[in-house]
């Protein structure tokens, strides 16, 4: 990135996003609209679309400028990236220790009321409790594949509909020898997919794995091509960018979160006008409590640490609810 900035002044917008924020973004303004208003050139917008908005989960014309500015100016969550040694499963194993976790158990109906909650699965099992914490992805909540009986309050339904899952996919290629130029671990492509890196760099592995990542309109375009078409398009991008026309992978895989019916997108995004939606989604509707990455404030939304703190918050709310003094009749 520093290299790109040295070569082109238009690239002098960094991950720190030190935007002036004066004038402030408008209530219904998209990030792209705001950046144009404060003087971003077409080329800078193009670059924004390609790089930073990619990590924000959707194209900048679809993201709330207020939500984006809150995300960039809130330093509470830190701005470093870390790899969990041994993989995320180590964290999950610890959190799940001693709990009765049922995998491959799809809930299709939640009946709730003063008496408590019943979750009915597609296999016909019913799980009952005094309360439940809902952590479903926003795409699943919007899809209607799961019914709430009685229906959720109108304001909760409106909140759910006001957020959106950003489309996202990875196209992963395995080559039997290194294909990245020496000393390069990642780059932004001029084509689609726009973001490319090798998780093999710095590791003692045979060959090289290359990950291509696309969100927003880039992902929509690739999604429309289907699996074979998207892999072909991504391979073509690699051939062009790396200057290797005969590049042939030994294996290839697409991971398309939009096509996964238990995700229906990569992570939540806040469309223009919906910047109050995350805290509204978090608001309890006892005996239902709400957690998951979409329920935390903008700087934490769409992240693992956000999902984690939301779970702790919802657990505290649930405990308080369960321990509340009961009215005697």
List residues near ligand FAD by CB under 6 A: 106-107, 135-137, 140, 146, 168, 170, 257, 262-263, 266-267, 292-293, 302-305, 307
Instruction: Between 78 and 150, name the residue whose CB sits nearer to ligand FAD.
Output: 78
Start-to-end CA distance of the chain, whole Å, equals 67
The least distance separating ligand FAD from the CB of residue 57, rounded to whole angstroms, comes to 8
Q: How far is the CB of 305 from ligand FAD (least distance, A)?
A: 6
Q: What is the closest distance, in whole angstroms, from the C-beta atom of residue 21 to ligand FAD in the complex?
A: 25
Give least dist CB 193 to ligand FAD, A: 12
* Shortest Å distance, C-beta 185 to ligand FAD: 15
* Helix/strand/coil (H/E/C) assignment for every residue in the chain: CHHHHHHCHHHCCCCCCCCCCCCCCCCCCEHHHHHHHCCCCHHHHHHHHHCHHHHHCCCHHHCEHHHHHHHHHCCCCCCCCCCCCCCCHHHHHHHHCCCCCCCCCCEEEEEEECCEEEEEECCCCEEEECCEEECCCHHHHHHCCCEEECCCCHHHHHHHHHCEEECEEEEEEEECCCCCCCCCCEEECCCCCCEEECCCCCCCCCCEEEEEEEEHHHHHHHHHHHHHHHHHHHHHHHHHHHCCCCCCCCEEEEEEHHHCCCCCCCEEECCCCCCCHHHHHHCCECCEEECCHHHCCCCCCCCHHHHHHHHHHHHHHHHHHHCCCCCCC
Residue closest to 287 by CA, chosen among 110, 142, 136, 138: 110
Minimum gap (Å) between residue 230 Cβ and ligand FAD:
14
Q: Which is nearer to ligand FAD, 1 or 244 (CB)?
A: 1
40 or 257, CB closer to ligand FAD? 257
Q: How far is 247 from 241, CA to CA, in rounded Å?
A: 11
CB-nearer residue toward ligand FAD: 13 or 263: 263
CB of 176 to ligand FAD, least distance (A): 25
- Quick one: 106 or 244, whose CB is closer to ligand FAD? 106
Q: Which is nearer to ligand FAD, 115 or 262 (CB)?
A: 262
Of 21 and 146, CB closest to ligand FAD: 146
Cα-flanking dihedrals φ and ψ of residue 190, to 5°?
A: -80, -5
Nearer to ligand FAD, 47 or 267 (CB): 267
Min. distance of Cβ 106 from ligand FAD in angstroms? 4
Reading phi first (left if > 0) and then psi (alpha if -120 to 50, else beta), residue 104 is in left
């Amino acid at each position: 990135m520093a290299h790109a900035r040295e070569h082109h002044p238009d690239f002098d917008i960094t991950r720190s996003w030190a935007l002036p924020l004066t004038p402030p973004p408008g209530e219904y303004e998209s990030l792209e609209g705001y950046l144009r208003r404060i003087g971003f050139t077409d080329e800078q917008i193009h670059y924004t679309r390609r790089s930073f908005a990619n990590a924000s989960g959707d194209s900048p014309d679809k993201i709330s400028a207020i939500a984006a500015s809150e995300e960039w100016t809130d330093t509470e969550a830190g701005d470093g990236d870390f790899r969990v040694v041994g993989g995320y499963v180590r964290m999950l194993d610890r959190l799940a220790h001693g709990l009765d976790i049922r995998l491959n158990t799809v809930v299709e109906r939640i009946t709730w009321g003063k008496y408590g909650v019943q979750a009915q699965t597609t296999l016909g099992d019913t799980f009952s409790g005094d309360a439940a914490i809902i952590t479903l992805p926003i795409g699943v909540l919007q899809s209607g594949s799961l019914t709430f009986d009685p229906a959720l309050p109108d304001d909760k339904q409106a909140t759910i509909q006001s957020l959106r899952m950003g489309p996202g996919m990875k196209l992963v290629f395995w080559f039997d020898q290194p294909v990245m130029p020496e000393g390069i671990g990642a780059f932004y492509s001029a084509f689609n997919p726009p973001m490319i890196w090798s998780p093999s760099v710095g590791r003692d592995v045979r060959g090289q794995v290359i990950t291509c990542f696309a969100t927003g309109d880039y992902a929509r375009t690739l999604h429309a091509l289907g699996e074979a078409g998207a892999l072909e398009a991504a391979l073509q991008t690699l051939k062009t960018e790396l200057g290797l026309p005969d590049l042939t992978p030994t294996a290839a895989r697409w991971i398309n979160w939009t096509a996964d019916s238990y995700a229906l997108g990569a992570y939540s995004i806040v469309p223009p006008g919906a910047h109050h939606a995350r805290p509204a989604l978090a608001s309890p509707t006892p005996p239902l409590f709400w957690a998951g990455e979409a329920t935390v404030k903008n700087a934490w939304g769409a992240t693992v640490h956000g999902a984690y703190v939301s779970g702790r918050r919802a657990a505290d709310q649930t405990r308080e609810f369960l321990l509340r003094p009961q009215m005697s009749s």
